[in-house]
Amino acid sequence: MIDIFGIPIQAFLGQILLGLVNGSFYAILSLGLAVIFGLLNVINFAHGALYMLGAFLAWMGMQYLGLNYWVMLVVAPILVGIFGMILERLLLRHLYKLDHLYGLLLTFGIALMIEGIFRSFYGVSGQPYPTPESLRGAVNLGFMILPIYRGWIVLASVIVCLFTWFMIEKTRLGSLLRAGTENPKLVEAFGINVPLMITLTYGFGVALAGFAGVLAAPVLQVSPLMGANLIIVVFAVVVIGGMGSIMGSIVTGLGLGVIEGLTKVFWPEASSTVVFIIMAIVLLLRPAGLFGKEK
Amino acid sequence: MTALALEIKDLQAWYGESHILHGVNISIPKGQVITLLGRNGAGRTTTLRALLGLTGTRKGSIKVHGVEAINLPTHKIAHLGIGYCPEERGIFASLSCEENLLLPPQLNGTTAGDKGMSLAEIYEMFPNLLERRNSPGTRLSGGEQQMLAVARILRTGANILLLDEISEGLAPVIVKTLARMITTLKAKGFTIVMVEQNFRFAAPLADHFYVMEHGEIVEQFPASELAAKQDTLHTLLGV
Amino acid sequence: MGLTCVFNHYFLKLMHNMSDLILETKNLTKEFLGFVAVNDVNLQVQRGHIHALIGPNGAGKTTCFNLLTKFLPPTSGNIFFNGNNITAEKPAQIARRGIIRSFQISAVFPDLTVLENVRIGLQRQQNNSFHFWKSNQCLHELDDQARELLAEVDLLEFENEITSNLPYGRKRALEIATTLGMKPELMLLDEPTQGMGHEDVDRVTQLIKKVSAGRTILMVEHNMNVISSIADKITVLARGATLAEGNYQEVSRNPAVMEAYMGTSQGELEGAH
Amino acid sequence: MNRQILGYALFAIVAASLPAFGIYPIFIMKILCYALFACAFNLLLGYVGLLSFGHAAFLGSAAYASGHAIKVWGFSPEMGILYGILIAATLGFVIGGLAIRRSGIYFTMITLAMAQMVFFFFLQAPFTGGEDGLQGVPRGHLFGLLDLKNDLNLYYMVVGIFMIGYFICWRTVNSPFGQVLKAIKENEPRAISLGYDVDKYKLLAFVLSAAIAGLAGSTKMLVFVSATLSDAMWQMSGIVVLMTLIGGVGTFIGPVIGAFIVVMLENKIGDFGRMIADTTGVQWFSSLGESVTIVMGLIFIICVMAFRKGIVGELAHFFTARQSKSQ
Amino acid sequence: QEISDDIIKIGFITDMSGVYSDLDGPAGGEAIKMAIEAAGGEINGKKIELVTADHQNKADVASAKVREWIDQGKVDMIIGGTNSATALASAAVAAEKKKPYISIGAGSTALTTTHCTPFTIHYAYNTKALANVTGSAVYNQGGKDWFFITADYAFGHSLEQDTINVVKAAGGTIKGTVRVPLSTTDFSSYMLQAQTSGAQILGLANAGGDFINSIKAASEFGVTPGMKPAGLLVFINDVHALGLKATQGLYLTAPWYWNQDDESRAWSAKFEERIKRKPSFVQAADYTAAETYLKAVKETGTDDGEAIMKWFKSNTINNFFAKDAMVRKDGLMIHDMYLMQVKTPEESKGPWDYYNVVEKIPGEKAFGPESESTCKL
Ligand SMILES: Nc1ncnc2c1ncn2[C@@H]1O[C@H](COP(=O)(O)OP(=O)(O)OP(=O)(O)O)[C@@H](O)[C@H]1O
Ligand SMILES: Nc1ncnc2c1ncn2[C@@H]1O[C@H](COP(=O)(O)OP(=O)(O)OP(=O)(O)O)[C@@H](O)[C@H]1O
Ligand SMILES: [Mg+2]
Ligand SMILES: [Mg+2]
């Protein structure tokens, strides 16, 4: 058996892979945050709650309507997106002229409410969500037994991230979005309905969160607090990656997942803090984040 | 009397608290080319921006092809057939040259007649852009960026063009290209509002001149009176 | 050029360097991600002058100011104030040396009263600005001094008004009063008359003239009337670089300046573009 | 000034007599601790314009520090509190020093993340008791004289501490230093250009705020004889924002009123829900007590959307508006 | 001595909405209500009342609530539900105020050792009993090398330590432990560590939702066929949630099982009528504890804390939950424990028919002799 720093290589590789799974969630969530921050300049504190909402919708679909995982994997993000758009239209929209901090506070309030409502109906203990039939079981990778579903998480999130990246970097829609981030006023002067674009972007960003929620449902319990615990780490990821940078979010999300996974092996006590420590260091050295542009 | 493409009455505008435009009146018949002259800071750029609702508060009346636009959101105003080429060019750094070019949507507002130029026509007019089509927008030279900024709005089918200092910082040869382009556009029936420091560039092109000072129109005359107004112009603009 | 001439030239230059130059930049350059906003500028401001910085939009005037006050770090080059190299100092340090700036967009403290605005500036002399345990009653010692300054800019009657209620022109005047309170050796004014009505422009112009006594002023201004009436020396920037320098007569006849700044007015220039 | 003193005296008299009316002293002490915490927070948000989302770190660290000092090292209560303040201020110096390098949203996120780090530290450090918390800290005798086991004695001490803390906040704002803070808040670049090294001022304000938050934390620890993770959790940072927002950012009594409302809500909303459930017959309301967060979230949203000035701010605005109309 | 304030008021504080809410929670409250109803709602004309609260698994919430109840709410006795951290905090307050505190759902031995008080009764079980019974059963089945996944707070530490003592005393080895925060949902990384440790037994020193999640993760990552899980504290609700397929063969320790005798079945039927599911042993203990307390009040004629405590410590307790049980001086109630094994799906006759009783362990043996207690009372 080969050891790395006294840890068998199997365990090492295994933890890297698990880190990648967690990193997948970080990546999708921070991607959504980045998209939203880019165009709206709002730190979407409700992101975690909407992630939770996605998971719950999947669970409710199964519980009450008998809809299976694959249906909900499509439907739940759409519903979350629509919900987000309603939020944007009714509430967030009125705050753009004010200090960005109000956006943060508003979404914080929204997060509290959504979480509170689900708590009052379902308690904080999680609801189990079965792994879809077709993704049950595990493959033996030699160094570890990887449940197929975990592999699917990494695959699905990489696909979604790359798809989003492609949409934003390579399509006309994306060019509108990027241009809107740079100079929304001018884009509007070209005749583009920027307010609508903002609504849709917010919808899309939170739909990503919803998607992550559905992905997470079978591995984590579907619980009202699942988002609250995750969101702060994701914030840190966004800050490290560079606020608003798409590729930054994806790469940092996955990377930090892995680093966190490794910390669990080498220095378990620090595993929950390592992301914040990295954040502090990055901020000292590169205030705009690893991939962020200095403004 | 020909139909007015643009009719601005008593337009006032503010940036935050500073009151920049103090009641601007301009009427432009369809197909005319006019030039706004004035010193730095006279408020010409602000006039264009106010037309599109890009300033802070604004008051007064703006009719685009007879449609009142003072209360419309910016993107709707654009759909009335206005294309805007900003002073700072507004090339998007995160977009390639061609993406920049393709960015503004085709306007099919009520009165925007033309279909707009095709990409091929545009590349024909500005061969430089064809060459640089894949480089990031802000890597283009200043002149190329300027061309791009103008070319960008030609595709949209807008028939009222607001061109802010398009000749600024450009080599004579490009300025000539631009002059030719404006002549062509004029022939095609475009209505054009130019803001120019470069009087020599603007003089032969414009049908009508307006001179601004401190946010007001202080003088206006048709091209035919240009010679006669030399002295006035000199006192108003010259150092 | 005769030998004496050459000698005189150098002698004069030496003299300048020794005493008369309050501010000097050497090869000052600022790049933003490859874009050169200020390019190798050698600015020399003489003590006691009203020195105007003009140039087309985007010429780099505001950036220049930001460099001088260290709101932006220069990419290269040096800045000397009274012969001392201040290139490495922090904004607040620069201010304490006596270089006080105003901003292109009005810079007052909107929710404080007019009197308090001026006092903020004066307070620094008291050396108690970290004393969180002291009553702010002690600030009233500064009231008289503050009122004097307000009187100087005709704002005395507004002393207890909340600043945000003042008309725009008055705010600019207040800004100047606050700046004066710092007893600056060198005042940097960025477009002090921007956004003002005619009367305000005149008043502020006169005010600048008035306060220039005994100190040096470096100002950015678009309004040529203002410049022609008060500026002793003008530096023209274009595309980040110095284009011309001299008094109003010299500069206004300079064809390059006409070209860059006004565009051509037909009669005078040929051949360009 | 005289009116201030009068108001102060009035407050002292009312506060002193409350227990006589049968009001539960611990309840009021809790409000006072939170109120002090909110005042400390407001010192930053209201007077320097810095939104810290990590103030729980200071509350918690002081609570743990003084709890540990009193329980394990046998400190007297007053020394324990001082020690707590010292720790909170030191932590404030470190976190503040990092955070003030950036402004706006970034500042907020950094404070949040740093506080989260502190939280995890407390979760894992051996002396905090992890999830169990530090329980059963002896209250001891104040200056060796006053037995704080007696709720009433403790109550008067807490009222005293609150008044001192409140006074420090008030004094800070109304000091030469406070004047500079106001200037920085309103126009930071201008303050720099006038020669103020704003980072130093911000840092001092941050440390002061952390110290007073620490005072609140240590006091709260004495009241509940325990220090637990919930003191350091980010939700606590959210609550203090809420209290300040409800009461009125940048007003003096705002945070106090906000604290009162939030604590009332936390404690009484269950009864209120049960009342509604009884009258309307909708059973769901009876679980309202368990879902204080819904109500808090709702209040948050309402405050941000409609009452950005908070109760005190809106009232003040209303009265000045009426005054200027009548004039 | 009289009934204070002319009302007998019981306070019940537990996790009403968190990871432990299924095995105690609101249904535990209902069980106490059943006991009050069974007593006729009054004793000698004095009304019996119940107040309940959710401590959200937070020690500070629990202690503040208990303090307020006693100071303000005229509560005479506290029944503490799940979570040891909250129990330790509440017990301290109750003792300060001289009110009986009956701990039901909490397992930490600290309640009757290092943190014992004259007013604490540790009623249903403790980690030491669990460790003694399950630990030695698993060890005797050949489980010599252990790896622990431990809930990171009082209860988990205590359970882990007690089991380690048992295993080590028997000659086994500990290959490692990881401490996991309460309510963790993702156990994958810990499973990997368990796997690489090379131990035979996966000791799960956690409970409720945490236990469920770790069992799931273990089977997902292929840990379990290779390693054998030992659930150190397993409730019937957990087995219900996981299903027999995932849990069959698991050894566990419980003080009570609804299907163990007629008396228990009868009460459980009543409970099921109300709650629509079978009771966990905690809920049965809630009921019988309240029942016993009310009996104590009736017999002593007072709700005074010291008198009640004296009654408890000088009488044997007999009910369907515990036979011939005694409360020791340190507050620990000694009663019989059962080693159970989870049935296979084929063995089970239907929902909730989950356990085979393997062995009945006498209280003294399960909880250890009083001489081992470190309580200084
Ligand atoms: N965003 C802004 N905020 C505040 N004031 C502004 C802003 N933009 C321009 N101004 C001020 O408004 C006035 C008019 O500016 P404008 O840009 O319209 O001038 P202009 O006539 O276009 O001159 P030029 O383009 O040569 O600078 C100037 O005094 C300018 O400083
Ligand atoms: N932070 C920055 N990043 C990138 N480019 C900048 C930045 N600040 C200024 N510039 C650019 O530098 C050039 C000079 O700007 P500056 O504000 O100094 O011009 P100015 O001479 O003051 O013009 P105006 O008369 O319009 O105020 C402009 O092209 C501007 O876009
Ligand atoms: Mg400028
Ligand atoms: Mg009683």
Q: Is the pLDDT of residue C40 over 90?
A: no
Nearest by CB to residue E22, choosing from A125, A140, A144, is A125
- At residue E339, φ and ψ (nearest 5 deg) are -95, 125
How far from A65 is each of A59, A61, A69, A71, B237, CA to CA, in Å? 10, 5, 12, 11, 75
Q: For residue E323, give the DSSP letter.
A: S
Nearest CA in chain C to D47: C111
CA C266 to ligand 1 centroid distance, Å: 25
Crossing angle of the two packed helices A100-122 and A47-60, in degrees rounded to 10 = 30
Greater model confidence, D226 or B168: D226
Question: What pTM value is reported for the model?
Answer: 0.82
Q: What is the pLDDT of residues C184-227, one digit of tens each?
A: 888 888 877 766 666 677 777 888 888 888 888 888 887 777 88
ipTM reported for the complex, 2 dp: 0.79
Q: Is the C-beta atom of B19 inside 6 A of ligand 1?
A: no
Chain A interface includes B90 (CB < 8 A): yes
Q: What is the DSSP letter of E132?
A: I
How many Å lie between the alpha carbon of B230 and the closest alpha carbon of chain A?
A: 35
- pLDDT tens-digit map of D35-75: 999 999 999 988 888 889 889 999 999 999 998 888 888 88
Question: B112 pLDDT band (50/70/90 cuts)?
Answer: very low
pLDDT at A1 over 50: no
Q: How far is the CA of B160 from the centre of ligand 3 (A)?
A: 30
| Ion ligand 3: protein residues whose beta carbon lies under 5 Å | C 62
The DSSP-derived string for D124-136 is: H-GGGTGGG-B--
- Structure tokens of A288? 């705009």
Taking a C-beta distance cutoff of 8 angstroms, is the pair E100, E94 a contact? yes
CA distance B2 to chain C (A): 31
pLDDT band at D205 (very low <50, low <70, confident <90, very high): very high
pLDDT of residue D35: 92
Please state the rounded mean pLDDT for residues E316-321.
Answer: 88
Cβ of C128 within 8 Å of Cβ of D176? The answer is yes
What are the chain A neighbours of E16 within 8 Å (beta carbons)? 123
What Å distances lie between residue B86 and B52, B119, B162, B195, CA to CA?
11, 21, 8, 10
Return the minimum-mean-pLDDT range out of C156-160, C241-245, D265-269.
D265-269
Q: What are phi and psi of C41, to 5 degrees?
A: -90, 130
Spell out the residues 6+ positions from residue C69 whose beta carbon is closer than 8 angstroms to its own.
C91, C94, C95, C99, C101, C188, D193
Q: Determine what percent of chain E is predicted with pLDDT higher than 70.
A: 100
Instruction: Give me the mean pLDDT over the A247-256 stretch.
Output: 88
Using CA coordinates, name the residue in chain D closest to E85.
Answer: D132
Q: Is the pLDDT of residue A260 over 70?
A: yes
User: At which residue do the structure tokens 């009548």 appear?
Assistant: D326
Per-residue pLDDT, averaged over B84-110, amounts to 80
pLDDT value for D88: 93
Of E185, E188, E222, the CB nearest to A126: E185
Confidence tier at C47 by pLDDT (50, 70, 90): confident
Task: Give me chain E's average pLDDT, please.
Answer: 86
Please tell me the predicted confidence (pLDDT) of residue E126.
86
Q: Choose the weakest-confidence range: C193-207, C258-272, D167-181, E307-321.
A: C258-272
Q: Do D228 and E152 touch (CB under 8 A)?
A: no
pLDDT above 50: residue B1:
no
Please spell the DSSP secondary structure of E86-105, one letter per residue: HHHHHHHHHHHTT--EEE-S
Contact indicator for B209, C233 with CB cutoff of 8 Å = no
State the pLDDT at residue C271: 29
- Pairing label, strands E101-103, E120-122: parallel
The DSSP annotation for D239-286 comes to HHHHHHHHH-TT-SSHHHHHHHHHHHHHHHHHHHHHHHHHHH--GGGG
Instruction: Give the Cβ contact number of residue C65 at 10 Å.
Output: 22
Phi-psi region of B2 (alpha: psi -120 to 50; beta: other; left: phi over 0): beta
**Structure-token match 């620069």, residue found:** C94
Contact B238, B226 (CB under 8 A): no
pLDDT more than 90, % of chain E:
8
Mean pLDDT value across chain A:
84
Q: How far apart are CA E62 and CA E85, in angstroms?
A: 9
Residue A265: list chain E partners with CB under 8 A.
Answer: 193
Where is average pLDDT lowest: A21-35, D165-179, E211-225? E211-225
Using the predicted structure, report yes or no on whether residue B56 has a pLDDT greater than 60: yes
**CB B64: neighbour CB atoms within 10 A?**
27
Percent of chain B having pLDDT more than 70?
90
**E120: helix, coil or strand?**
strand
Q: Quick check: D84 and D215 in contact, CB under 8 A?
A: yes
Contact criterion met (CB below 8 Å) for E228 and E200: yes
C213 C-beta closer than 6 A to ligand 1: no
Residues of B in contact with C35 (CB under 8 A): 138
* In contact, C255 and C243? CB cutoff 8 Å: no
Query: What residues pair up with E11 in beta bridges, in sequence order?
Result: E51, E78
Sequence letter at residue E147? F
Average pLDDT, chain C: 76
**Which of A229-233, C162-166, D111-115 has the highest mean predicted lDDT (pLDDT)?**
D111-115
Using a 10 angstrom Cβ sphere, with 0-12 exposed, 13-18 middle and 19 or more buried, the burial of residue E145 is middle
| Subunits in contact with chain E (3 or more CB pairs closer than 8 Å) | A, D
| D297 band by pLDDT with thresholds 50, 70 and 90 | confident
CA angle, corner B115, sides to B109 and B120, nearest 5? 140
- Ranges of beta strands (E only) in chain A are 3-4, 7-8, 138-140, 145-147
Q: Which residues of E touch D226 (CB under 8 A)?
A: 59-60, 63, 89
What are the φ/ψ torsions at residue D27 (nearest 5 degrees)? Answer: -60, -45
**C-alpha B110: how far from chain center:** 20
A232 token code pair: 């702060």
Which of D215, D206, D169, D166 lies closest to D65, judged by CA? D215
> Is it the case that residue B219 has pLDDT exceeding 80?
yes
Cα separation values, E261 from C81, E21, E251, E321, E322, Å = 97, 26, 20, 10, 12
The tens digit of pLDDT for each residue in E260-293 reads 888 889 999 989 888 888 898 899 999 999 989 9
Task: Look at residue A198 and tell me whether its pLDDT is greater than 90.
Answer: no
Q: Give the mean pLDDT of C17-35.
A: 77
The tens digit of pLDDT for each residue in E205-237 reads 988 888 888 888 888 887 877 888 888 888 888
Confidence of residue B125 (pLDDT cuts 50, 70, 90): confident
Predicted local distance difference test score (pLDDT) of residue D285: 67
The pLDDT of residue C266 is 35
Bigger pLDDT: B236 vs B48: B48
Q: d(Cα A96, Cα D283) in Å, to the nearest integer?
A: 39
Domain boundaries, chain B: 4-237
Angle at D38 between CA D35 and CA D43, to 5 degrees: 130
**Which pLDDT value is given to residue D40?**
92
Query: In terms of C-beta distances under 8 Å and separation of at least 24 residues, what long-range contacts does E298-301 make, across chains too?
Result: E298/E39, E298/E43, E298/E44, E300/E1, E301/E1, E301/E2, E301/E3, E301/E44
The number of C-alpha atoms within 13 Å of D43 and in the hemisphere containing its C-beta is: 34
CA C192 to centroid of ligand 1, rounded, Å: 13
Mean predicted confidence (pLDDT) in D309-313? 82
Bridge pairing between strands E145-151 and E201-205: parallel
Q: What is the pLDDT of residue B169?
A: 63
> Which CATH number is associated with domain B4-237?
3.40.50.300
Helical packing angle, A194-216 and A9-40, nearest 10°? 160
